[in-house]
Amino acid sequence: MLNVSTTGFTKDALVELSRQRGEPEWLLDKRLQAWELYEQTPAPLGRRGDLGTLKALAGFRFQQLTSYVPDPSEKLPAKIEQSLQEALVNDRSGLIVQHNSSVVHTQLDEDLKEQGVILLPLDKAVQQYPELVQKYFMTECIPANASKYTALHAAFWTTGFFLYVPKGVEIEKPILSQVWIDAPSSATFTHTLVVTEPQSSVRFVEELSSSVTSDQPSLVSDAVEIFAQRESRVEFSYLQDLDQNTWNITNKNAVFENDGSVTFVMSDLGAKLNLVEIGAGLQGNGSAAELVGIFFTDHDQRYKINTLSDHVGLSTNAETLVKGVLTDESRVEFDGMIRVRPNAQQTASFLSAHGMMLSKKARGEFIPGLEIAANEVSASHGATTGQIDEEELFYLMSRGVPRPEAERIIVQGFFEPVLQRIPLENLRIRLRRSIISRMSGAYETEADTWVDAQERWEIEGVDEGAVHLDDSTRDKDEIELSEY
């Protein structure tokens, strides 16, 4: 473990970081090559007339950050212990916790260990399984030269998570990872590497939280690489709820072999500025990808979200569905792309993105795109953005519903079709409560605020039997709903 903290990003700091960690020569070389790329690559500034998110990030004072913050304590902080008690995944097969720049806790069910499943901090995996890490780490999925910020990540990453699932192993209960940031003026580089062998399956849930109280901002650079080999299935759920004194850069991508399947569930609620890159490289024939995403922005948050479905193999399928709500003076830029390569015949790909603004000062740009180079393709895309419908508000208010509650009902109806697509029930509950809390300014229980969308208006995909308004038919354990 490193026992010093360094400020700023330099070549000497990089070499010292690698030396103190006792890293192999190949990894130091990879860091040095990435550093050269970082120095040579100009910061992206975005296109003319956009909302300025990339330009704001280019002006961020990276050199004032502490590039490594060690955690010498072996005991979990009280706030992390409390978070684990309230975690999205109560019944889990594994857990790994990172505090600032160090992984402080790891556990995995014994039966999975006996089957050959590996769950380790990534820096330990470098020492114990160097061949695996060298083969997959920032090679094909997220190469260091993808952007200036991926180069910085490749040069200064400190730890993260490594998950390896052997052939034919199916992990039914999810594996949970938590990243906690509370060091002021710090840069945290966390990297998740997931490798699934043929005919295996896993569900992985990652939570990213922070509580930085300093006036000086902090940075989180998060990368996720998933390699889904033949006929394997990966479900990756992600909740980003950083405080608004933390800036976030995240890159997530998956590489598919034949008939591989990956589902990304992305939930972005926090961070001062959030740059998101999510991709799916569908090289394998018959591979399938799904991205379900929601976001909620307020105050002066800035989001830049880019998605890419890259179809290379035959008979590949992909679907992207993103919805978000903007309030106050927040700004969101969404760019989604479907790319169909020349030999990617029999492709089916769909992209849909929608934004709702609750404030006249909020701004959103939703731009979908298609690049089609094959002729046997089914592909479509669409995007909408606009203010909340005043006629819908008037309709509810004329029936005695106060405006704040009417807005919450409409926002629920907007989000609910997406939430119903999220496989993990605990995550759906957590997101509903977080959305209501953001809209009301204080925590309220789901029972008091999340009304039955099917009763208010018809929404396709909502289970009519999920709730009951009649006390005579409601079980004692079911949610009690407010009645207006």
Average pLDDT over residues 314-321: 97
Average pLDDT over residues 319-331: 96
CA nearest neighbour of 188 among 152, 164, 163, 214: 152
Which pTM was predicted? Answer: 0.88
So where are the chain's domains?
A: 11-390, 391-465
For residues 349 and 36, give the distance between their C-alpha atoms in angstroms, rounded to a whole number. Answer: 37
Token pair recorded at residue 16: 């010292």
**Locate tokens 């290379």: which residue?**
312
pLDDT at 49: 84
Confidence of residue 5 (pLDDT cuts 50, 70, 90): low
Average pLDDT, the chain: 86
Confidence of residue 247 (pLDDT cuts 50, 70, 90): very high
**Locate tokens 């061949």: which residue?**
131
Is residue 324 within 8 Å of 296, Cβ to Cβ?
yes
Q: Is the pLDDT of residue 455 over 60?
A: no
Confidence of residue 91 (pLDDT cuts 50, 70, 90): confident
pLDDT at 164: 98
pLDDT for 389-428, tens place per residue? 999 999 999 998 899 888 888 998 899 889 888 888 888 8
For residues 268 and 431, give the distance between their C-alpha atoms in angstroms, rounded to a whole number. Answer: 10
pLDDT at 475: 44
CA nearest neighbour of 14 among 390, 3, 33: 33
Tell me the percentage of the chain whose pLDDT exceeds 70: 85
pLDDT at 481: 35
Average pLDDT over residues 271-286: 96
CA nearest neighbour of 105 among 153, 92, 449, 224: 92
CA nearest neighbour of 119 among 184, 165, 159, 77: 165
Burial 426-435 (b: 16+ CB within 10 A, else e): bbbebbbbbb
The vertex-483 CA angle with 294 and 360, nearest 5°, equals 45
DSSP percent split of the chain into helix, strand, coil, nearest 5 = 25, 35, 35
**Locate tokens 């590949």: which residue?**
316
pLDDT at 174: 92
Q: Is the pLDDT of residue 10 over 80?
A: yes
Confidence of residue 469 (pLDDT cuts 50, 70, 90): very low
Q: Is the pLDDT of residue 3 over 60?
A: no
Q: Is the pLDDT of residue 465 over 60?
A: no
**Locate tokens 């990276």: which residue?**
62
Confidence of residue 431 (pLDDT cuts 50, 70, 90): confident
pLDDT at 83: 65
Q: Is the pLDDT of residue 116 over 50?
A: yes
Average pLDDT over residues 153-174: 95
CA nearest neighbour of 196 among 221, 222, 159, 171: 171
pLDDT at 472: 37
Q: Which of 30-39, 61-70, 221-230 has the lowest mean pLDDT?
A: 61-70
Dihedral sign for Cα atoms in the order 31, 205, 421, 242: negative
- Cα-Cα end-to-end distance for the chain: 57
pLDDT at 329: 95
The vertex-268 CA angle with 172 and 107, nearest 5°, equals 35
pLDDT at 71: 65
CA nearest neighbour of 163 among 110, 203, 134: 203
Confidence of residue 442 (pLDDT cuts 50, 70, 90): very low
Q: Is the pLDDT of residue 477 over 60?
A: no
Strand segments (E) across 109-228: 118-121, 159-165, 175-181, 187-196, 201-210, 218-228
